[in-house]
A and B are shown apart, each in its own frame.
Chain A
Amino acid sequence: MSTLLRASGLSKRFGPRTALAPLDLEVGAGEALAVLGPNGAGKSTLLRLLAGLARPTAGSLTIGDGAPSRTAQRRAVGLVGHATFLYPTLTARENLLLAARLHGLSSPAERADRLLAEDRLEALAERRVGALSRGQAQRVAIARALIHDPALLLLDEPWTGLDPRAAERLSERLAALHRAGRTLVVVSHDLARLAGLAARALVLVRGRAAWLEGEELASETQLVAAYATRVGVLEARA
């Protein structure tokens, strides 16, 4: 498995506050990585650094084999944030068109329609995003993040606020993307859903990192137990 993302000593400080302590991270192409940890551990900061929204205080980051420029980085990454990044007064289709044009795609309309079809969103295409449910808006947000066919898809708490059916549907969608070879990095507290999806997990506790892999992610019970142990160890060290 080739390496898609390589970060070394990646860190972010906001003035005196350390949002992410220096972190070494490698993600293989096609891998699904879970990022776990209590609130304030720096999980969202990590995603926003990987997406090129925030500038790291120190450390290096390369994604793909592209030059490490910020625009190349943003081209390689799609981000599904905590918020949807969608304009409520525009329709789902218009939001996708905007994203396609921002990425300079050659035929934005076709690309938008293709992504709408991929997640069977055609019926919602002409509805304004402000009138969509949380689950529907989330599906449009995922389509938005995939508009430029990024090698790496980052998701920040994607199951939060979804009803059980929408959550199940999201799990299926992510599994399908993973099977199709997309690299995923998913930040979540939902250990049950992550156990089925990811083969490796990064645990962040107040800037310290540990890894879970193999058997530890085989089932929800095993993951919950392994996670609790790691957090305990990391907190004791902190």
Chain B
Amino acid sequence: MKGRNTLALRVTGLVLVAFAAAWAFTVWRAPIDATQGPIQKILYVHVPVVLGAYLGFALTALGSGLYLARREERYDRFAASAAEVGVFFATLVMITGPLWAKGTWGRWWTWDLRLTLTLLLYLIYVSYLLLRSFTEGSERAARFAAVYAIAGLAVIPLNYFAIDLAGGRTVHPENLGRGSLGAGMGAPFAWGMLTALAAFAHLLVRRLEVGALQAELDRRTLDAPPEDP
């Protein structure tokens, strides 16, 4: 299987290394926040990984919808790959978020609107991956998982209203508009976002490659003539 379409892997890999270097450099040079101190620099990791997590979930829903409409295996592989990469990023969100919260708010977790929404979304996609691994037969797993991803997507706005209703006081900053970042913080933030996108693309391409190889392997194993007893 040598030399199988590694161009996309190489390109995304190189872009990732270049972006990560620029990101590391700008983060190192970024000013220390006047009120929060050095802990504020976790922003340059936390917000970019949130981007990756949500991108993963959006692409999973997209792949699932396309799979149900067209019934082509590649859309299912795309949805599954995006979900795994998304869950990886979401795990980083769940690690960096509480670290930052402890440093600035003094506690690991609050039942804030955004935190709760993200946690629920994370759990939905963990269940999505469990459903895939507990369903026998890849075609059936693809159908079931696609239905679950679509239900998961439908529940996001409902959860938003529900948690709002439950009075999730928001301590989490509403948005990070350009104005809210101090002088010298824009560059590391932007490089962080770009690095997250590059890392996402690279991991997704890598995961899709693994998926394609796995499918190829399954096909060859099954097509091989059975051995004589």
Residues of A within 8 A of B142 (CB): 15
Q: Does B157 contact A (CB under 8 A)?
A: no
B-contact 0/1 string along A177-212, CB 8 Å cutoff: 000000000000000000000000000000000000
Residues of B within 8 A of A17 (CB): 218, 222
Contact, CB under 8 Å: A16 / B71: no
Q: Count contacts on A: residues with CB < 8 A to the other chain.
A: 9
Residues of B within 8 A of A14 (CB): 137-140
Contact, CB under 8 Å: B218 / A16: yes
CA distance A17 to B140 in the complex (A): 12
Contact, CB under 8 Å: A15 / B218: yes
Q: Does A74 contact B (CB under 8 A)?
A: no
Residues of A within 8 A of B140 (CB): 14
Residues of B within 8 A of A57 (CB): 71
Closest beta carbon of chain A to B225's beta carbon, Å: 7
Contact, CB under 8 Å: A13 / B222: no
Residues of A within 8 A of B139 (CB): 13-15
Q: Does B73 contact A (CB under 8 A)?
A: yes
B-contact 0/1 string along A23-64, CB 8 Å cutoff: 000000000000000000000000000000001010000000
CA distance A96 to B215 in the complex (A): 44
Contact, CB under 8 Å: B71 / A15: no
The listed residue with most A CB atoms (<10 A of its CB), out of B73, B139, B140, B142, is: B139
CA distance A57 to B223 in the complex (A): 18
Closest beta carbon of chain B to A22's beta carbon, Å: 15
Contact, CB under 8 Å: A15 / B73: yes
A-contact 0/1 string along B199-226, CB 8 Å cutoff: 0000000000000000100110111010
Q: Count contacts on B: residues with CB < 8 A to the other chain.
A: 14
Closest to A40 in B: B226
Residues of A within 8 A of B71 (CB): 55, 57
CA distance A13 to B219 in the complex (A): 11
Closest to A12 in B: B139
Closest to A58 in B: B71
Closest beta carbon of chain A to B147's beta carbon, Å: 15
Closest beta carbon of chain B to A136's beta carbon, Å: 33
CA distance A13 to B222 in the complex (A): 12
Closest beta carbon of chain B to A52's beta carbon, Å: 16
CA distance A18 to B71 in the complex (A): 16
The listed residue with most B CB atoms (<10 A of its CB), out of A13, A15, A57, is: A15
CA distance A57 to B215 in the complex (A): 16
Residues of A within 8 A of B215 (CB): 15-16
Closest beta carbon of chain A to B127's beta carbon, Å: 21
Residues of B within 8 A of A18 (CB): 222-223
Closest beta carbon of chain A to B75's beta carbon, Å: 13
A-contact 0/1 string along B128-153, CB 8 Å cutoff: 00000000011110100000000000
Closest to A18 in B: B222
Closest beta carbon of chain A to B143's beta carbon, Å: 10
Closest beta carbon of chain A to B173's beta carbon, Å: 45
Sample of 16 more A-B contacts, CB < 8 Å, known A14-B139, A15-B215, A16-B138 = A14-B138, A14-B140, A15-B73, A15-B137, A15-B142, A16-B215, A16-B218, A16-B219, A16-B221, A17-B218, A17-B222, A18-B222, A18-B223, A55-B71, A57-B71, A238-B225
Q: Which 6 A-B pairs have the closest CB atoms?
A: A15-B138, A16-B218, A16-B219, A14-B139, A15-B139, A14-B137
Sample 13 A-B pairs with CB under 8 A, ordered by A number: A14-B137, A14-B140, A15-B137, A15-B139, A15-B142, A15-B215, A15-B218, A16-B138, A17-B218, A17-B222, A18-B222, A55-B71, A238-B225
